[in-house]
């Protein structure tokens, strides 16, 4: 199964990483290392957010309506102010507070050797790319016209976020989530 990190690293034959390197004035190898350190934290945050019913519904709605895959299709958009704002909005949903985002950047800095100041600026851009990869993984190349179930076979990346016990099926996880919601 393809994951978000693999999609980003291979997107546009590495063009996304090259664009990040250019935008943040980093050697390509450092940009790649930064992506390798930040994307798993973003994926965990998305998974935690999607583990409750409102979070899952919000994620599906954002994927359905957000047009995030444009960031994967057009890496030149990554330097736009609107991209950073969109990314900051995503980070607000994923991590909840700026303090968590800062901590993620600080930890990634220790492992990657890239300054935390650069990683703090890169994190919103990577958030848009993560949503773009997730959108492409769930909906493919077509603009979705209808709701997609997280249990459909087209939701491989989304399934990886929702399969909390990693048994290969999200049915038990969705049922647990539904039961929690009904017992409130």
86-103 tens-digit pLDDT:
999 999 989 989 999 999
pLDDT of res. 3: 82
Q: In terms of C-beta density within 10 A (0-12 exposed, 13-18 middle, 19 or more buried), how is residue 158 classed?
A: buried
Contact 87, 128 (CB under 8 A): yes
146-178 tens-digit pLDDT:
344 444 434 455 566 555 565 665 555 555 554
Sign of the CA dihedral running 156, 160, 166, 170: negative
Contacts of residue 158, defined as CB under 8 A and 6 or more positions apart, other chains included, come to: 50, 59, 60, 63, 134, 137, 138, 148, 150
Q: In terms of C-beta density within 10 A (0-12 exposed, 13-18 middle, 19 or more buried), how is residue 93 classed?
A: middle
75/131 Cα distance (integer angstroms): 14
Q: Which residue has the tokens 């330097």?
A: 79
28-67 tens-digit pLDDT:
999 999 999 999 999 888 888 877 777 777 887 888 888 8
Supply the pTM of this predicted model.
0.76
Q: How far is CA 180 from the centre of its chain?
A: 25
Q: Where are the domains of the chain?
A: 4-182
How many C-beta neighbours within 10 Å does residue 113 have? Answer: 11
């Amino acid at each position: 199964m393809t994951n978000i990190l693999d999609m980003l690293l291979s997107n546009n034959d590495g063009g996304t990483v090259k664009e990040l390197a250019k935008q943040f004035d980093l050697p390509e190898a450092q940009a790649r290392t930064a992506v390798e350190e930040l994307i798993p934290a973003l994926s965990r945050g998305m998974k935690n957010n999607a583990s409750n019913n409102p979070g899952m519904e919000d994620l599906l709605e954002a994927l359905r309506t957000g047009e995030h895959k444009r960031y994967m299709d057009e890496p030149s958009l990554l330097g736009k102010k609107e991209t950073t704002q969109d990314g900051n909005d995503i980070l607000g949903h994923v991590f909840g507070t700026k303090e968590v985002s800062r901590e993620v950047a600080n930890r990634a800095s220790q492992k990657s050797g890239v300054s935390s100041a650069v990683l703090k600026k890169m994190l919103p851009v990577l958030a848009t790319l993560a949503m773009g990869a997730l959108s492409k993984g769930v909906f493919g190349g077509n603009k979705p016209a209808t709701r997609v179930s997280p249990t459909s076979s087209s939701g491989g990346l989304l399934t990886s976020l929702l399969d909390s016990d990693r048994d290969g099926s999200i049915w038990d996880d969705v049922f647990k989530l539904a039961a929690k919601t009904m017992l409130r």
